[in-house]
Amino acid sequence: MHSAPTSPAPSTALGAAPATAPRPYRSKTLATWLGLLGGPLGLHRFYLGGLGDVWGWLHPLPTLLGLWGLHRMDQLGQDDRLAWLLLPLLGLSFATAMLQTILIGLTPDERWHARHNPALAGRADAPAAGWGAVIPVILALILGAGVLMATIAFSGQRYFEYQVEEALKISQ
């Protein structure tokens, strides 16, 4: 076993930052809960990769567009075509976040620490996630599957209704 340095390397001339600063601890349990509660906004990605995570910034856009579609449908009804094009984005964004939550929560602790907490990799005293990460995985599976099925059903229904409307226009 090897031990990671507990203090950063001495700074270089003129008080510059050390070349390799120690990485902060990343909790698998917290990342899993963030994925469940704030996944469609990318909170789990920002927790793990910081504000520079490009994939984290790609989460809010489809979520917000889908919410706008939901608002349009509430205000204008189900016949608003833009709303039924935008609304599935919300469902797909949510289902994607739930899948990522499941993947985070089911990552073995050893692999988690190797990826996010290298100083703890291979150590016997490394913290284990336990039930704190399993419960959000179960909830993410239930919610994600339900939202994905609803999204597919809504999209399919709207598509076939549109096809029937167009066929009626042609037949008249």
For 129-157, the pLDDT digits (tens) are 889 899 999 999 999 999 999 999 988 88
Confidence of residue 172 (pLDDT cuts 50, 70, 90): confident
pLDDT exceeds cutoff 70 at 15: no
Gap between the Cα atoms of 54 and 101, Å rounded: 18
pLDDT exceeds cutoff 70 at 58: yes
The larger pLDDT score, comparing residue 161 to residue 15, is at 161
Gap between the Cα atoms of 68 and 126, Å rounded: 44
- DSSP state, 20? S
Mean per-residue pLDDT, 84-101: 92
Mean per-residue pLDDT, 73-97: 89
Q: Which two tokens stand for residue 100?
A: 């990522």
**Beta carbons of 40 and 94 less than 8 angstroms apart:** yes
Q: Which two tokens stand for residue 165?
A: 């409307």
Helices (H), the chain: 28-38, 43-49, 54-58, 60-76, 81-106, 109-116, 131-171
Mean per-residue pLDDT, 88-100: 93
| Alpha carbon distance, N-terminus to C-terminus of the chain | 79
pLDDT exceeds cutoff 90 at 101: yes
pLDDT exceeds cutoff 80 at 32: yes
pTM beyond 0.85: no
Gap between the Cα atoms of 131 and 143, Å rounded: 18
Gap between the Cα atoms of 45 and 72, Å rounded: 29
Gap between the Cα atoms of 62 and 45, Å rounded: 15
In this prediction, residue 19 carries a pLDDT of 53
Mean pLDDT of the chain: 84
Q: Tell me which residue of 89, 96, 86, 92 sits closest to 39, measured CA to CA.
A: 96
Q: Could you count the other beta carbons within 10 Å of the beta carbon of residue 120? A: 18
**Beta carbons of 83 and 67 less than 8 angstroms apart:** no
Per cent of the chain over pLDDT 90 is: 45
Confidence of residue 122 (pLDDT cuts 50, 70, 90): confident
